[in-house]
Chains A and B, each alone.
Chain A
Amino acid sequence: MQITSPSFKKNSVQALSDAQLQKALGNVRAGFIDKRTKAVDALPEFDALRDNGKAIKDHTLAHLDLYLEAYEEQVKKAGGHVHWAQTAEDARNIILDLCKTRGVKTVTKGKSMISEEIALNDALEEAGVRPVETDLGEYIIQLRGEHPSHIIAPAVHLNKEQIEADFRRVHTHLPADRKLVEHEKLLTEARAVLRAEYFKADLGITGANFLVAETGSSIIVTNEGNGDLTQILPRVHVVIASIEKVVPTLEDAAQILRLLARSATGQEMSVYTTVSTGGRRESDPDGPDEYHVVLLDNGRSSMLGTEFQEMLRCIRCGACMNHCPVYHAVGGHAYGWVYPGPMGAVLTPSLIGVDKGGHLPNASTFCGRCESVCPMRIPLPKMMRHWREREFERGLNPAVARYGLKSWAFFARRPRLYRFFASFGIPALSMLGGAKRRFSWLPFAGGWTKYRELPAPEGRTFMQQWAQREALKQEVSS
């Protein structure tokens, strides 16, 4: 997919004036937050489980090489195959090769962000293999030639009228005068169309929420059941997962599962939690003959041992974006790559480089809501600050911001000069603010003042007020 993260600002301006998108984004604000709060409140142990989840992942990451080796050994024992992919291209080639050697024509796919990360669908199509997304949201955006705008609700940026129009455009084998207004009708139509695809597919691809070292299993969590039909009906099941998905044991997965569904959708448990291990056994009447896992690194090993290691605890629940005022305003596409919201702002520069993704960490008001809801206690604001520092060090900020900050720093390091200018500046600005005492336009901040006014500073400087307070205190105590 084309990366548009460098034009985050332009993307956001477009998003803010897109009436359809703004209407759809209302569903994020209305839907996710309350449901999560209710589910969390109903489990008194939730915060203690967060501590456990964090500890499990920290332990695993500190021993990641050993757990990956143990995991691989168990997959092999269960008759499965592990393929190691250093880059997105390696991963694509491994999957294309599996398709070629097995004469695969159609691939069904469960929802997988890794598949988006490696732009798998484009590669499959180029190789003459037809990919069919089966998660309802993913299916809809595939019909539209779009990318997910949310990691667990990929089509959250759309309204049902848009979806109806797409179904009418693509499902031309159905009567043109059929009624398609209600949500239920749309779902039933998609269900019928996709049912046929599951049976046609030669190979099914799913992601993984966890890889279990103890047993060599992959675990997926879905509500629709599409991930299950995707893996049990075709001959070959391919799991694509990044290396940090591994946990030591089933018990460890059980701890984190209690956090995942509550944080993601406010459910206590998703409808289908499926543990898959190897291909079908001799006596099994159904299930895939072959089981493959593609383990993707793609930049993650370089995050270990750095200030961004903690980001590898992320379980992709989406809570940070559901609670993010910036995401609420601009939606997921503005972030310009696969991962939006606060987690995307931290992960994107790590995975595609600060030169392309360095803008995203600026898309934060530092309100801290993301960190407060993150089930894995990832210090997202702190990491965004790390990126900002790196961006600044490398001179990647716009010139205005750089000079502005530099001149501010010049004065900040010279307190007397700072105070001297401030004591003149405030009365001057207060006068310039006019009768309203507000600015509706400021030099270098036209974008900001376009949507709001800045109150003009009033009274005296902070230092002056402080000095007065201290003097008063002295008087009172003496």
Chain B
Amino acid sequence: MSGREAILNKVRASLNAGAGDRKTAVDERLRSAPRGLIPARGQLADAERVALFEAQAAKVFSTTERLASHADLPAAVASYLRSKNLPASIRMGGDPRLRGSHWSSQPALEVRDGPSDGSDEAGLSHAFGAIAETGTLVLHSGPDNPTTVNFLPEHHLVVVDAKDVAGDLETVLANIRDRFGKGVMPRTLNMITGPSRSGDIEQKMLLGAHGPRALHVFIVEG
């Protein structure tokens, strides 16, 4: 008997399974994916929801900045890098929302294409959405926004459209389902709540463990 059958048989025997129609309940739950309790905190009108996202992001040591449109992105990125004394170079994937901006308007800024190889000081991604309840960004893998850009650079800069800032995680999950199809997921879905940190040395919280030391969010209102 394979390990699979042995384990499943033991589970069935212990549960005394067989009695009644158990499969219908399971199929129904998997099909309908009922929502549980959604905390009231994030259930706000548009403007307040974005403000809550900013407040929650600040609590976890992210920084935020509002931009009127994607067109402002190159200048804002260049200015962030200057303010941190970083080289004028940014890593990013092929997301048309990022690539549509006029990067040539910043001639001193080098734009590096594709996934990160670990040599980048700063990376730029476009988030799929955000969660106001916890100040969380949601990104998914693919050529538009390679996952390595989320973790290898010291500074992670993330763009999110104000209209994609949801109140709660469940709303973002529903949007993911709409985008990829029921039961289908991208290889990686990253929910990111602040820069990387560790408290493993004497429970003292320090930023910049293995991932980025800084997380800066551009909220595009246009």
Q: A interface vs B, CB < 8 Å?
A: 24, 27-28, 30-32, 43-45, 48-49, 52, 56, 59, 62-70, 72, 74, 77-78, 83-86, 90, 134-137, 140, 153-156, 158-160, 163, 183-184, 186-188, 191, 194-195, 199, 213-217, 223-226, 228-229, 232-233, 243, 248-252, 254-255, 257-258, 265, 267-281, 283-287, 295, 297, 301-306
Contact = CB atoms under 8 A, between A and B. Distances in A.
B84 interface: no
A30 to B, nearest CB: 7
A301 B11 contact: yes
Interface residues on B, range: 35 or more
A132 to B, nearest CB: 12
A63 B20 CA distance: 12
A288 to B, nearest CB: 8
Contacts of B26: 63, 66-67, 70, 248
Contacts of B129: none
Given A188-B208, A251-B34, 18 more contacts: A69-B8, A70-B30, A135-B200, A137-B200, A156-B203, A163-B201, A183-B202, A183-B204, A187-B198, A215-B185, A225-B196, A228-B190, A232-B151, A257-B169, A268-B56, A272-B190, A274-B191, A277-B189
B45 interface: no
B141 A249 contact: no
A250 B173 contact: yes
Nearest to B195: A271
Contacts of B4: 72, 84
Contact of B114 (A48, A183, A226, A285): A285
A303 B10 CA distance: 10
B51 interface: no
Contact of B187 (A32, A49, A140, A281): A281
Which 8 pairs between the two chains have the least Cβ-Cβ distance? A225-B211, A224-B209, A137-B200, A304-B14, A84-B3, A301-B10, A31-B203, A277-B185
Interface in B135-177: 135-136, 141-143, 146-148, 150-152, 169-170, 173, 176
B197 A223 contact: yes
A295 B4 CA distance: 9
A271 B192 contact: yes
B168 to A, nearest CB: 8
Among the interface residues B7, B8, B15, which one has the most CB atoms of the partner chain A within 10 A? B7
Interface in B110-148: 114-115, 118, 133-136, 141-143, 146-148
B47 interface: no
Contacts of A59: 25, 29
A269 B134 contact: yes
Contacts of A233: 148
B17 A65 contact: yes
Given A272-B196, A284-B187, A304-B15, A48 B37 contact: yes
A160 B152 CA distance: 27
A469 to B, nearest CB: 48
Contact of B36 (A72, A232, A254): A254
24 contacts: A27-B203, A30-B203, A63-B25, A68-B8, A84-B7, A86-B6, A136-B200, A140-B200, A153-B200, A153-B203, A191-B209, A216-B185, A224-B209, A224-B211, A228-B150, A228-B151, A232-B151, A251-B170, A254-B169, A257-B169, A268-B193, A274-B190, A280-B187, A305-B16
B222 interface: no
A108 B102 CA distance: 40
A221 to B, nearest CB: 9
A251 B173 contact: yes
Given A249-B30, A285-B115, A224 B196 contact: yes
A214 B33 CA distance: 8
